[in-house]
Structure 1
Amino acid sequence: MKYIKPEIGFYKNALALMLPMIIQNIVTNTMQLADTFMVGALGEIELAAVTMANSIFFVLLLLIFGIQSGASVLVAQYNGRGSVDAVNRVMGIGLYASLGLTTIVSLLTFFFPREIMGIITNNADLIEPGADYARIVGFSYVFMAISGIYISVQRSMENPRFGAYLLTISGIMNIVLNYMLIFGKWGAPAMGCAGAALATVISRVFEVLVVLIYAPLSKRLPLELPLVFRPGRLIAGDFVRYSLPVICNEGLWSLAMTVYAVIMGHMPDSTPILAAYTISGNIDRLVAVALFAAGNASAVITGREIGRGNRDTLYSIGVALNRLCFSTGIASLVGLLLVRQFAADSFIFPLMNISAEAGGIAKYMLLLLALVMPLRAVNLCNIVGVFRGGGDVHYALMCDVSPIYFICLPTAALCGLVFGLGIKAVYLCM
């Protein structure tokens, strides 16, 4: 294909889409980091317990993301054609799928939290606090299913600001509620891990209330409730065709991440390992916000151009998006190395009340995460962005999942559970 150099306006448009997404991701990950800080202040056992409990919901979270991503592909294309009715129908299918899934999981974790915790860890110290957390926090995902699908639809219609503003406010609310409910401030009971879960639920309820007020007033997306509640078979067929591979992709990927956590949870001295894994993951996601924003912006731009019929420019757009994403990967690499070198030991780890062993493991994990950042950026651009946005969801699935299940997971399990090579060897396999 012939390469046509994009005009400067292309990059301005991409950055205009990315900036609100970056803000949204910063707020979301800051909220998660604040959770980690406050739970970590209770001790390594509580932090490790919440980590294992969240590994259950990580699969659910990524399945919801898969539903939203599949819906976003269709919304971007229908929006490019100017079909608002079809956008309403897609949103309805996304709501049905997300609500059905989250309701089932939340009920299971409410009635059987200890049994589920017993499956993912054999450390008896982690089961009780993890069960207290899981029983409550599961319901937050039901509310997130509603607000999340609406935010993703607005983002795919080139309105990422709504999600950025809403999640900023709810994120601040969550941090305040965490402080109040975990430690028993301002007259509230000190609930520990359960307080962190309850704070998350209240914040998600607030998001849904704002969506319910905003949605009927939106001019960009006029709400048609009959179309939302009865999407129709034709749109349902499109949704299944585009979304099912994405849901499988995210489900298999998140399941693999959960299995990694299970492997670490069954290793000797699992408590400091899991604490380090949680801390390094939160820091990484906070520093790498631009990567995920660039990947999501790539999906919106690619889907929009296909919807408008501009297929002759897709190759050039893909090249430009890869350059943009690789640049964000380099910047994120430098940022994560700086945080590791100058903020980890002096600021972050003391706040977390973790042991020197956990801190050393976390610094090793951060180093590996930083070194692969540019490659992750290119993967996000193509798998989440260009391939999915272009409708090639099956190829994206194969690229994303095959290396994990055929190489990474087996070698990590062998290193950690069979040969006993320790966390450094296991994490290198991941």
Structure 2
Amino acid sequence: MAEPTTTDERATGSAVPLWRNRPFTFFWTAQLLSNLGTQVSELAIPLTAVLLLSATPTEMGALTAMEALPSLVLGLFLGVLVDRVRRGRLMLWCNVGQGLLIGTIPVAALLGVLTLPQLYVVTFAAGGLALAYGLAHTAYVPVLVAEPRQLAAANSSVALSDSVTAVGGPGLGGLLVQLLTAPIAVAMDAASFLVAAVLQRAGLRADPRPAPAGKGAGGLGVSLREGLAAFRRHRGVVALTMAKAIPDFFHWGVMALYVLYAVRELHFSATTIGLIAMLGSLGPLLAGAIAAPVSNRYGPAWTSVVATVLFGGANLLVPLAAGPSWLVVALVALGQFLGGLGVVYLIIVRTTMLQQAVAPHLLGRVGAVMRLIEWGPGPVGGIVGGLLGEALGLRAGLVILGLGGLLGVPWVAVAAARGRLRFEDPDTGPPNARPCPRPVA
């Protein structure tokens, strides 16, 4: 719950600065720490499969699919759950669960019993907890930041913290894999989740109560229909979701092939892969810093079109990179930079629109619908990527997947041309949806 305002602040209409909002600060710090570990692990787990277990392209596709599968099979159920429980506490236990699950990987490696099926199970289960955390997080930020005008800044701050860890995490992950082996790097991620849970518990205040009867407490089918209807009413959010979901599908395929291509075709070391990811992560860092001022000055419409082009087309630079080794590294890093810049900008704009236009008791379910659309096809994308790499070769598969990412551009371009991508005016209400109750602390 947000810090109470003073008499002077109420009189002048000013809001408590984010840095003085103690619950938000604890939440932000805990997320910063857990994300640092996650960035290490996102590189270390695939490298564990490639270097320690000699995974094939098809097996890497299956591993990538396991990360997205929870959105397909659990997403809608978790959306209903998020709208019925205390979200802050749910997020805390999600951190604990992820720490314990991921911690089994280095333990199994130490005992010499690590297998690909274990990586599949852990990746799926941890992905389910991460999904629940993400849905609760989107719904919880408007509670911590009760002033609607601060939502874009709050979402940018969260994205900025994610990006800061993305800058240092992959480089640290590559170095840890090089010096201490991949399982030890994974152990760092497990520890970060547990420490983040302690920090979150220290800053936890009274959670919002679960939705009362009539607001998400009906049957599962009724609850899901309410969430789907609320999502469809805001056509700008629908367009941004499709503009992200289509490139996401092809990006899952790229993820299935990227580490194999980097190691076997480009002959990158683990340290080089980490360095590229670190340089590329400056894109999300930049997006977190500029999203609020850029969208406020130039509007979220056509800037989102540009962001979609960057996100959708950036993967083409990976298979097209050629020349001296330094140029190849630079082009691959540039692709990650532009893709990260585009997708994080889209996420910030869409999250702000969503939080302004959708009633608080529906945010979990609407978020679940969005995740189902975006990540639900991810397992298929990962498997398709693996099969393309197996059948056509890694480079040809990456080219096809990179071209497919551009198919999301028409969705956001049409929405921008029709005036559907606008932030809510706090005085007049949402422009593209029926009036909804404003988020309250």
TM class by shorter chain equals: 0.3 to 0.5
Higher helix share: 1
- Per the normalisation by structure 2, the TM-score is 0.44
